[in-house]
Amino acid sequence: MELKEFIPVWRDLTPAQQEQLASGASKRTVQKGTVIHSGSLDCTGLLLVECGQLRAYILSDEGREITLYRLLDRDICLFSASCIMRSIQFEVMITAEREATLWVIPPEVFKSVMEQSAPLANYTNEVMAGRFSDVMWLMEQIMWKSFDKRLAAFLLEESALEETPVLKITHEAIANHLGTAREVVTRMLRYFQSEGMVKLARGTVEITDAGKLQQMTCCPFHRRWLIR
């Protein structure tokens, strides 16, 4: 997949700008589990996901985590280039949840073209607005939704991403996605099991009644992905 396929405004760039991006960009493959970006001190550059799955999350001083959003095929990660905007004052971590192939555009290259090109700057605006919407969605979930609904939605989302009802995931990992403690996850999963919605085994959570889980979530199933 070529670089220009990721950038819908490619044709609105001048040949010189296209050349600047193309010659600056490089392709990189990262293994599952790799920490690609770690907060604002680390200005990795703009990431364009050719294939794979990245996870963007925040980390508390005490080491607690919460997933902000996932980046899938064709997604663009802006916050790995947060140094290009001085108003970005927060720290996002990015790791590969699966092996991924990425285009990386160095921050100074992207910034230089964005400063000249209204189409690229406006496109960047749209990308940021999309991530902002993801985070606002998450904030609404945390504020207004009870944990059982969030957990049900998470299990359904994972099952859709992994394309299987048998999720290989620990309670600890679920807790890190949802920003809570492991015990809270374990207690709720046991309740789900008693209601026949899941079946628990060592290291796996099997969804046995997706319809019932679905009913628990008030919103259409993984709306967060659908609005992209």
Q: Of 1, 83, 106, 130, which lies in the binding site for its own copies, with binding defined by CB under 8 A?
A: 130
**Residue with Cβ nearer its own copies (85 or 169):** 85
User: Is 58 near its own copies (CB under 8 A)?
Assistant: yes
Binding flag, residue 139, its own copies (CB under 8 A) = yes
Does residue 61 interact with its own copies by CB under 8 A?
yes
Residue 7 or 198 with smaller CB distance to its own copies: 7
Among residues 125, 149, 136, 122, which one has the least CA distance to residue 214? Answer: 149
- Looking at beta carbons only, is 18 or 34 nearer to its own copies? 18
172 binds its own copies (CB under 8 A): no
Is 16 a binding residue for its own copies by CB under 8 A? The answer is no
CB closer to its own copies out of 44 and 124: 124
Chain position carrying tokens 């008030």: 218
> Given the rule CB under 8 A, which residues bind its own copies?
58, 60-62, 64, 66, 85-90, 114-118, 120-122, 124-133, 135-140, 142-144, 179, 227
